[in-house]
Amino acid sequence: MIQKSLLYRQQGFTLLESLIALIILSVGMLGIAALYVEGLKAGRTAIFRTNAVLLAADMIDRVRANPAARDDYELEGATYGCINGDVNCTATELAQEDRLVWESEVADRMPTGTEAEIDVTLGVDDPFDTYTITLTWPEVGYQEPLEYQLSVIL
pTM here is 0.78
**C-alpha angle with apex 135: 69 to 37, nearest 5 degrees?**
155
In which region does residue 84 sit, left (phi positive, over 0), alpha (psi from -120 to 50) or beta (all else)? left
150 forms beta bridges with 133
Query: For the segment 104-143, what is each residue's pLDDT rounded down to a tens digit?
Result: 999 999 999 999 999 888 777 777 888 999 999 999 888 9
Q: What does the pLDDT read at residue 61?
A: 94
State the SS3 of the chain.
CHHHHHHCCCCCCCHHHHHHHHHHHHHHHHHHHHHHHHHHHHHHHHHHHHHHHHHHHHHHHHHHHCHHHHHHCCCCCCCCCCCCCCCCCCHHHHHHHHHHHHHHHHHHHCCCCCEEEEEEECCCCCCCCEEEEEEEECCCCCCCCEEEEEEEEC
Q: What pLDDT, in 10s, does the model give residues 72-106?
A: 887 776 666 777 766 788 888 888 888 888 999 99
Q: Pick from 40, 56, 37: which is nearest to 110 by CA? A: 56
- Report how far Cα 80 is from the mean position of its chain's Cα atoms: 28
Beta bridge partners of 121: 130
Q: What is the pLDDT of residues 27-71, one digit of tens each?
A: 999 999 999 999 999 999 999 999 999 999 999 999 999 888 877
CA–CA gap between residue 141 and residue 145 (Å, rounded): 10
